[in-house]
Structure 1
C-alpha cells in the first residue's frame, strides 16, 4: 500500500475533531478537575468496571454470534443468493480472525471508542480480499478543501501498514456512534457513562482497601492532655507498624487515657450498595442494555412467561440499530448492486423455546401460508417429498364463493324431499 501521489500535489487535508475524540479519551467534567483529583477515569480504566465490561461484551457477543447472509430481492421477498466474491471475505476476513472475532472487534471498537474503522484490501478486480479492524487511536479523519474525505492511518504492521499512509474513504468502512459535533467523529456511550463508571471504580477500590484492612476503618488516637509532636509521631508510627495493614486485629494495650476512635463512614451510612447499584443501572442505561442481561436485575423480571417479550424488547431497543448499520456498512464497502445485500440473521437471537416454536410452526403450516419443508428447515431438519407446497383444509372457502352461495335462497324441507325422490331409481320395467 502506498501514499497516493496526487494527494501531495493538492492542498493537504485538514484533520477534523479533537485529539480526545479520536483517541477515545473522556474529557474532564470541568476545567481543572484533573488537577484537583476530580477527573473521570480513562476509557481503559472504565472498562475495568464490571458493568461497562458486561454491557460491551454482551452487545458485541450477541451481534457477532449471528450469521450474515447474502440475499437477493425476488419480487417482494428476499431470498438467499450465492455470491462468493461477497461472502468469501466474511468467512475469513484476515489471517488472524474468523468472522465472529472480526465482527466482535468491530463492535467493541465502536462501543468503546465511538468509531470503528475497517480497512478494505482489494484485488486487481476491486473485489474485497481482506478486511482489518483498525485501532481507532491510530486513525485521523481528514477533509480536503474539495470536501473529499480521507483517513490518515499510523503504521500498524499487524494490519499490513508498515508506514503511515493516507487512505481515501472508499477503502475504509467507517461505522460510528452518534455524531453530536462532527459527522465524521462518533461518540461512544462510555462518554455518558464516564461519571457512573468512575464512581463504581472508586467504590470498588474503597471496598478493596477496607477489606484489605481486615474490615476495620481508619481512626485517630486521642489523649486527654496535651502531647508533644515527637510523642504524637512516635505513637502514630508504633500504631501503624503494629496494628495496621496485615497486623490489623491484633490486641493493643494503651494507657494514660489514650482512646482509639474510628473516623471512616460505614458502608451503611454511605449507602455503598445503593450507590453501586445506581452506577450499574446508569451504565446499562447508557448502553440500552436491560439489567437482566448483565446479571444485575434485583427484581427478577425475567421469567419463562415473558422471556419472549423481553428478548424482543432487547433487540428493538439495543441491537436493531447497530445491526442495521452493520448491514449498510457492508453493502457500501463491498459496492453491492441494487436489489442485493447483506442480511444479519436475527432468528438465532429471537429463538423461542421448543414448545412455542413447534406451536407457531403448526399454526403457520395449518394456516396454509408456510410449507411443511419451510418449517422443517427452520428446525434444521431435511425436507420430505411433497413438503414444498402449502396445504389447506378443504372446508375453507373464499369470501367471494360464500357470497355467491348466499345469493340463492336456502332450500326448504319440501324441496329437499322432492329432490331426493326424483333421484331414486324407477322400479319395475
Structure 2
C-alpha cells in the first residue's frame, strides 16, 4: 500500500540533524566553526572502520538462517513452511542470502538504520525483501502518531518515483537511538573524529615518504635576498630536489647553504598514533582489536572463550535484532520464528569439541547420534537414545531409600522364612515328584522282567 505525497494526513519528518544525515556536524564542541566536519563517506575509507564493518557483516551473513517451531516439549526444531521458507532462502531476485544480510548489516553500521521493503503477492504473503538505500528513506510521523516512510526512487526495489508507505510495509532495524526512537545512530558518530585523524596521519605519512622520508630543510644565504629571489630559489629547489628527484646533487653558489630539518620524536611516532586511532574505532564497534590484525594475537588454547566474548559483546545484539525484525516483519505466528545457526561461529577446536561431546553422551544429556551430527557424521543403529551406566540410580529411587529408618543398615544374608502357602505348595510339589519317581521305577521293573 502506498499513499501519494499529498495525502490527507499531516506527516512530519523527524529531525534530520539527529544522526542519520551524511555529515556529523559537531564531533566536538566548536567543530563546525573550525571546519572539522566528519564525512561518513571519507571515514569509511579508514582501514579500521572498513575492517570492523566488513568483519561484523560477513560473520553474521555466513550464518545459516533457520525457520524453527516450538514443539510440545518446548524445544525449538527446524521446520519448512511454504509461507516463509522461500523468502528466507532467496530474499529477492538479485541477491542471495549472504549478500542480502551483508547489505542489511552494513546499512545499519554505516547509517544506523536498515530499511527493508516488503514485496507481497496477491495473497498478501511476503515474497521478496529489498534493502533500501538509507539515504533515500525518511521516517514520517502523522498527527495521530502513526508512522510512515517516504521512499525516493530505487529501481532495484521497483520504486520509480517518490512514495509514502505505512510502517507495516517496512522492516526498520535501527541502532543506538540516542535522540529519536525512529532514528538510529551509527558508531561513526563516536569514531568519526578518530578515523578522520587516522586518515590525516596516513595522508601526512604518504607525503613524508614521497619526499624520500626527508622532512625538508632550510636554504640560508650569507646576506639579505629579495622576496623574488627567495621565491625563485624555493620553486627551483622543490622542483628539482624533492619528491621523485630526492637524492639528486645540488650545486649551490653565492654562499647558499642547505640545512636539513630534524624529525621530532613525536612526529615520528606514526605507528603509535595510528594504533590509538584504530583502537578507538574498534571500541565503538565492540570488536576485539586482534580480530582486525591489531595488537597481540591471543593464544590458541582458548578459542571458544574468545569467540564467545566476541559474540556476546559485538554480534549478539545485531543477530537477535535481525531475528526479531524478521519474526515481526513476516507476521509469524506464536511458536514460529527464525534463528541464526551460531554453531559454526562458536565452534571449538577439534580436541575440545570431541571431549565436550564425549562428556555430554556419558552424562546421558545427548544421544550418540546427536553428538555424531555435531561432527558432521551420519546416524548409526541404536544411537538415537541417551545412555547411562547401569549402576546409576534415579533420584526417586534414592529418595525411597533415604525414607527408611536406617537407610544404610546392612541387609541380612539369611533368607526370610517361607510363607505358609509357599510351604504347602512346596510339599505338594515334593509329593508329586515322589509319585512320578515311583511310577517310573515300576515301569522299568516291568521292562527288565520281559527281557528275562
TM-score, normalisation: structure 2: 0.86
Give the whole-Å Cα distance in 1 for the aligned partners of 2:316 and 2:212. 48
1:220 deviates by 2.4
Residue 376 of structure 1 corresponds to which residue in structure 2?
372
Residue 166 of structure 1 corresponds to which residue in structure 2?
164
Q: Is the 8 A contact 1:24 1:112 kept in 2?
A: no
Residue 139 of structure 1 corresponds to which residue in structure 2?
137
2:106 maps to 1:108:
yes
Residue 304 of structure 1 corresponds to which residue in structure 2?
300
Structure with the greater alpha carbon radius of gyration = 2
Give the whole-Å Cα distance in 1 for the aligned partners of 2:292 and 2:55. 8
Q: Which of 30, 52, 57 is 2:54 aligned to?
A: 57
TM-score, normalisation: structure 1: 0.91
CA shift in 2, pair 1:16/1:363, >3 Å: same
Residue 409 of structure 2 corresponds to which residue in structure 1?
410
Give the whole-Å Cα distance in 2 for the aligned partners of 1:37 and 1:220. 31
Residue 219 of structure 2 corresponds to which residue in structure 1?
221
SS in 2 for 1:214: coil
Q: Is the 8 A contact 2:109 2:187 kept in 1?
A: yes
Residue 81 of structure 2 corresponds to which residue in structure 1?
83
Q: Is the 8 A contact 2:212 2:246 kept in 1?
A: yes
Residue 3 of structure 2 corresponds to which residue in structure 1?
4
Q: State which drifts further: 381-390 or 259-268.
A: 259-268
Q: Deviations over 1:375-396 (max 9, x none)?
A: 1222222211222111111011
Q: Tell me, which stretches of 5 or more residues in structure 1 are unaligned?
A: 423-428
SS in 2 for 1:174: strand
Give the whole-Å Cα distance in 2 for the aligned partners of 1:341 and 1:260. 75
Q: Which of 363, 383, 393 is 2:389 aligned to?
A: 393
CA shift in 2, pair 1:267/1:10, >3 Å: farther
Q: Is the 8 A contact 1:217 1:263 kept in 2?
A: yes
1:266 deviates by 4.2
Q: Is the 8 A contact 1:70 1:80 kept in 2?
A: yes
Q: Tell me, which stretches of 5 or more residues in structure 2 are unaligned?
A: 419-433, 435-452
Give the whole-Å Cα distance in 2 for the aligned partners of 1:280 and 1:134. 29
Give the whole-Å Cα distance in 1 for the aligned partners of 2:198 and 2:265. 14
Q: Is the 8 A contact 1:23 1:136 kept in 2?
A: no
Residue 175 of structure 1 corresponds to which residue in structure 2?
173
Give the whole-Å Cα distance in 1 for the aligned partners of 2:327 and 2:26. 38
Q: Which of 358, 363, 366 is 1:362 aligned to?
A: 358
Residue 330 of structure 1 corresponds to which residue in structure 2?
326
2:70 maps to 1:73:
yes
Q: Deviations over 1:268-290 (max 9, x none)?
A: 54522211110010000000000
Q: State which drifts further: 73-82 or 164-173.
A: 73-82
Q: State which drifts further: 232-241 or 60-69.
A: 232-241
2:38 maps to 1:44:
no
Give the whole-Å Cα distance in 1 for the aligned partners of 2:389 and 2:61. 42
Q: Is the 8 A contact 1:22 1:139 kept in 2?
A: no
Give the whole-Å Cα distance in 2 for the aligned partners of 1:408 and 1:237. 104
Q: Deviations over 1:84-126 (max 9, x none)?
A: 2212112111111100000000000000000000001011111
CA shift in 2, pair 1:273/1:82, >3 Å: same
1:264 deviates by 7.1
Q: Is the 8 A contact 2:220 2:256 kept in 1?
A: yes
Give the whole-Å Cα distance in 1 for the aligned partners of 2:216 and 2:251. 18
SS in 2 for 1:70: strand
Q: Deviations over 1:265-314 (max 9, x none)?
A: 446545222111100100000000001110102x33x2111221111110
SS in 2 for 1:158: helix
SS in 2 for 1:118: strand
1:179 deviates by 0.8
SS in 2 for 1:22: coil
CA shift in 2, pair 1:267/1:201, >3 Å: farther
Residue 320 of structure 1 corresponds to which residue in structure 2?
316
Give the whole-Å Cα distance in 2 for the aligned partners of 1:165 and 1:60. 29
SS in 2 for 1:181: coil
Q: Which of 190, 204, 211 is 2:188 aligned to?
A: 190
Give the whole-Å Cα distance in 2 for the aligned partners of 1:262 and 1:134. 55
Q: Is the 8 A contact 1:153 1:166 kept in 2?
A: yes
1:224 deviates by 2.8
